[in-house]
Structure 1
Amino acid sequence: MDKQLSQPIFPNSLDELKSKHSPNFYSKSLYSDQLKELAVCRDVTIKGDDKKTQEFANELSNSVNAKWVYYPWLNSAYEILDEKEFVEVRTNRNQLKITPEEQQQLSESTISIAGLSVGNSVALTLAMERVGGHLILADYDELELSNLNRLRTGIPQIGLHKGVIAKRQIAELDPYIKVTLFDEGVTDKNITSFLNKDVDILVEVCDSLDLKLSLRERAKEIEIPVIMDTNDRGMIDIERFDLEPDRPIFHGFLEDLNMTNEELKNPENKLSLVQRIVGEDISERLKKSMPEIGKTISSWPQLASGVMLGGAASTNICRRILLNEHKKSGRFYVDFEQIIGS
């Protein structure tokens, strides 16, 4: 995989872009319009007054730099605000649900996301809200048609690596967010790099049970919190190994099995172990589905509405953990059928 084709490029000029990357490309300047947005953000009293807005924008142009960003996969370049002002405008509508001081704090955090089916929704929601200035993504898989029931992408991306899709989506949204991609997924060889001591939170949304265990063992070792979404009944699982380093993995649901790590990681034991981990408090439809996995249905059933809800819930918890507003471990539900009823 050509990594150059999955990350934005910041050329010093269009001439440099032509000489180094592409002689022919689409280009468009968004700088002037974004300067006007910046002007209104800094003085809301001029909103609706085109003359005053333009005057202030002209004044800002003396101190606010423009920057070209080139997207190789689109063969397109756009002139935008420099990073500080770009982020100021893009996050302006977050205020004051997120204060400017909190936004800065969030931008200095690093979040690792394992699994990019459900994790795609998590990564994009984190990026939109700008919770995390550095997102570390891991998956080994390519997009298939059956993934389009829950991933916000389309037919032209079928066959493309899921990590590349997510990385491109984030770059088109905000090219200043740093994204690191582990395109082989998380392995025994790279797990310590994927989960290093600079990581603030792990969001674990992968299918592999042995990887779920390995990731928690590593997170517990370096004392970082783990968030897991199951997209069933809006269940969000939180393990605060940062506050409770002796906390048992998976809340102790597997402790009484007296299995070795190898037995826990044996694929033949997967379904029964997953049932113990998610518990009995699952939806009736999932209860009916689980015995059919590997028989009449190919994998764990997921719906777009549950995946999108998981992206929202995971982002909310990440933000509140990073701002020291949430300190609980446990299992929590945002169950629409229970809340809204029939």
Structure 2
Amino acid sequence: MNNVLVDAIATSQQRSLEREVRFFRLQDPAQLDALTQLLAQQPGIRVFDEIQSQLAELIRLQHPTERLSDTAVAEKVAAHLGNTPPAAYGVWVYYPWSAYVVHILDEAEFIHLRTSRNQHKITEAERKTLQTKKIGIIGLSVGQSVALALAIERLCGELRIADFDRLDLSNMNRIRTGVHNVGILKTVLVAREIAEIDPFLQVHCYDNGISDDNIDTFLTAGGPLDILVEECDGLDIKVLARQRAKSLHIPVVMDTSDRGMVDIERFDLQPDLPILHGRIPENITATQIRNMQGPERMELVDRIVNFNAMSTKMQASLAEIGKTITTWPQLASAVMLGGAAIAHVCREMGLNREIASGRYYVDFEQIFNHE
């Protein structure tokens, strides 16, 4: 193997954990100098500047009753800019992991334009309400689809995401990402993808996952969560998260990616609601769950999800764990459906609409059954 390839492999193994963008507003001379120096020091950075097309779209949005010609749009863009040069308008965003610098509208105009096609399914007043919401997600397989749906629709102003795991190639049957990201922390992947969609959305990462030591911080630091989305594999954390959320009156939602099953527990409206709809003992502890052995653990899983209510293929798959497969299967279509379902529930709850506690199914096999 030649030295060039050896050096390239060694460099590739120094995986970056960067997930924070840098903003440069060029009307500030110091920030103009900083961006200039960055581009001079790293000549490999690619620059993307489509501010004129964004301004043109913004102008058309501001005049919905008029059919503006390109000339009229250009005139209104010039008036909108005033004495500000186009290069100094808005904000330049540096993405260190991809070596991109992108010129976009600044926060208020960016959000207004990016979410304009939500109107009036989500009104401007509703968007402003949702922007005040804090949503936490534990587990980033199904959780990745949830996080992206929440970010794309902008159903919150802050996301807290937690997972200790790194991307494996086998995860890519349901996680949308590139093969170059194998080995990267899932929190980093999700934070980066959200930043590339909306760099103004606050994302806080818990790279070590959730434990007894940090669950309260996750739920309350910077203000209590408005909604907890629980999508982790660990039974102990499933129970612990609900017990702590219940004590703080934080509602919990979960999708299981089989038969479109969605659990909703409105601890905000029903503080005495038993966790997991009373399917498990209320006083069970995370430590007790960690000490459970195989059959006892499977019995607990059964109590939580009800094997008999699962799809036929999922029931057959469970019998193959440890024989022909190592864990339960999850399909991309089911995971994406779960992301959409949870986003819908979070939007409705965030807007104080009636979403009752319970177990719901969006079962494609049942809906499209032609027998």
Conservation of the 8 A alpha-carbon contact between 2:236 and 2:289: yes
Q: How does 1:187-206 map to 2 (within 5 A)?
A: 187-196=211-220, 197-206=223-232
The DSSP-based 3-state class of the residue aligned with 2:262 is strand
Conservation of the 8 A alpha-carbon contact between 1:47 and 1:53: no
Distance of aligned partners of 1:62 and 1:224 in 2 relative to their CA distance in 1, 3 Å threshold: farther
Query: Are residues 1:208 and 2:234 paired?
Result: yes
Conservation of the 8 A alpha-carbon contact between 2:164 and 2:209: yes
Q: How does 1:280-295 map to 2 (within 5 A)?
A: 280-295=308-323
1:14 positional shift: 4.8
1:63 positional shift: 9.3
Structure 1 residue corresponding to 2:329, chosen from 290, 296, 301:
301
Conservation of the 8 A alpha-carbon contact between 1:202 and 1:224: yes
Distance in 2, matches of 1:48 and 1:298, equals 60
Query: Are residues 1:30 and 2:50 paired?
Result: yes
1:259 positional shift: 5.5
Aligned to 2:22: 9
TM-score relative to the length of structure 1: 0.94
After the TM superposition, which of the residue ranges 109-118 and 27-36 deviates more from structure 2?
27-36
Q: How does 1:224-235 map to 2 (within 5 A)?
A: 224-235=250-261
Conservation of the 8 A alpha-carbon contact between 1:68 and 1:79: yes
Distance of aligned partners of 1:234 and 1:47 in 2 relative to their CA distance in 1, 3 Å threshold: farther
1:49 positional shift: 2.0
Conservation of the 8 A alpha-carbon contact between 1:225 and 1:240: yes
Conservation of the 8 A alpha-carbon contact between 1:46 and 1:52: no
Aligned to 1:266: 291
After the TM superposition, which of the residue ranges 42-51 and 302-311 deviates more from structure 2?
42-51
Aligned to 2:81: 61
Distance of aligned partners of 1:217 and 1:63 in 2 relative to their CA distance in 1, 3 Å threshold: farther
Aligned to 2:114: 90
Q: Which runs of 5+ in 2 are unaligned?
A: 1-14, 26-30
Distance of aligned partners of 1:267 and 1:51 in 2 relative to their CA distance in 1, 3 Å threshold: farther
Aligned to 2:136: 112
Number of corresponding residues: 340
Distance in 2, matches of 1:48 and 1:275, equals 61
Q: How does 1:45-60 map to 2 (within 5 A)?
A: 45-47=65-67, 49-60=69-80
Conservation of the 8 A alpha-carbon contact between 2:159 and 2:203: yes
Distance in 1, matches of 2:83 and 2:259, equals 50
Counterpart amino acid of residue 175 in structure 2 = L
Conservation of the 8 A alpha-carbon contact between 1:35 and 1:61: no
1:260 positional shift: 5.6
1:276 positional shift: 1.1
Distance in 1, matches of 2:103 and 2:264, equals 41
1:76 positional shift: 1.2
Conservation of the 8 A alpha-carbon contact between 2:237 and 2:286: no
1:46 positional shift: 3.7
Counterpart amino acid of residue 275 in structure 1 = D
Give CA-to-partner distance per residue, 1:40-89, whole Å, 9 cap, x none: 11112345621222222222223994111100011111111010000000
- Structure showing greater Rg: 2
Aligned to 1:242: 268
Aligned to 2:304: 277
Q: Which runs of 5+ in 1 are unaligned?
A: none
The DSSP-based 3-state class of the residue aligned with 1:124 is helix
Distance in 1, matches of 2:21 and 2:126, equals 27
Distance in 2, matches of 1:120 and 1:263, equals 29
Conservation of the 8 A alpha-carbon contact between 1:203 and 1:226: yes
CA RMSD of aligned residues (A): 1.9
How many percent of aligned residue pairs carry the same amino acid?
A: 47
Query: Are residues 1:335 and 2:363 paired?
Result: yes
Aligned to 2:102: 78
The DSSP-based 3-state class of the residue aligned with 1:27 is strand
